[in-house]
Amino acid sequence: MWYWTFKYVLLGPLLHLLGRPKVEGLENIPVDGPAILASNHQAVLDSFYLPLVVPRRITFLAKSEYFTGRGAKGRFQRWFFSSVGQVPIDRTGASAAQDALDAGLRVLRNGKLLGIYPEGTRSPDDRLYKGKTGMARLALESGVPVIPVAMIGTAKMNPIGSKLPRPTKVGVRIGKPLDFSRYEGMAGNRFVERAVTDEVMYELMKLGGQQYVDVYAASMKATPESATPVSDAAAGADGAARIPDSRAG
């Protein structure tokens, strides 16, 4: 109930006013059945604007910190994310990747839409970063299609560190579903998972027009000078709450 209340009554009208969202490719969202929505990640508001424009309910895997905070802010976050049906995952510890994968599979096996950010964290500079392979593992184990989604303008509306959104036009471009059934039975093969991930990231690059950087965004935040942009051709040749890599590599 709260999901639809927030969408149509409490938050939706304000988000429409601030962002005047324009959506393209909505016909690529299936009317029913499970699918993975793999999106670039520019801002916290990505998780608000994508559900706003998609008629079906989307479940995101949310970091467990949103559910364990203290004080008034912590209680509000816990209530909000629980109310809209988001699934908490612990991203620390040896079992973090498997726990996240199990949570995602439960969502998909229930016939729902699962929202994933393959980059694993927000882009620090509006570029598109290397995807983590957990998204590919989910797609291969579940057999569901992956639908690439490019969020545009949310970084300007909600830049990292900002407390209040700035009125900016937001765009949502939804690509055609990607079918990876040709890799059936190959979940766990790190080379296949990397190929699937890179194919999705290449589609995201084309949809959103972002410059691609062939390093993980988390590494860029730690050592900005280590990131080296690569060309569109190289990105294509090299070739997901946030799901960590299912294994190293």
pTM for the complete prediction? 0.83
Question: What are the backbone angles phi and psi of residue 44, rounded to the nearest 5°?
Answer: -60, -35
Q: Which two tokens stand for residue 121?
A: 């964290």
Q: Domains in the chain, start-ordered, CATH in brackets?
A: 21-60+108-237 (3.40.1130.10)
Output the pLDDT for position 141: 95
Scanning 94-153, the segments in alpha helix (DSSP H) are 96-109, 134-142
- What residue spans of 143-226 are helical by DSSP H? 154-157, 190-208, 217-222
- At residue 226 the predicted structure's pLDDT band, cuts being 50, 70 and 90, is very low
If one compares 170 and 80, the residue with the highest pLDDT of the two is 170
Residue 135's closest CA among 149, 120, 124? 120
Which one has a higher pLDDT value, 116 or 228? Answer: 116
The token pair that represents 94 in the structure block: 């040896």
Give CA–CA dist 249/244, Å, rounded.
12
Strand ranges in the chain using DSSP code E only, listed in sequence order: 22-24, 35-39, 58-63, 87-89, 113-116, 128-129, 146-152, 171-174, 212-213
DSSP 168: -
The mean-pLDDT minimum among 6-15, 16-25, 123-132, 173-182 falls in 6-15
Residue 136: CA atoms inside 13 Å, Cβ hemisphere, count? 30
Does residue 70 have a pLDDT over 80?
Answer: no
> Whole-angstrom Cα distance, residue 127 to residue 210?
5
Amino acid at 27: E
To the nearest 10°, the Cα dihedral for 131, 135, 139, 142?
Answer: 170
Strand, coil or helix: 142: helix
- The 10s digit of each residue's pLDDT in 17-66 is 989 999 999 999 999 999 999 999 999 889 889 999 999 999 987 766 66
pLDDT in tens, 159-217: 888 878 888 999 999 999 999 999 999 999 999 999 999 999 999 999 999 999 999 98
Over range 110-116, report the average pLDDT: 95
Residue 218 in 3-state DSSP? helix
DSSP code, position 55: S
Is residue 3 over pLDDT 80?
Answer: no
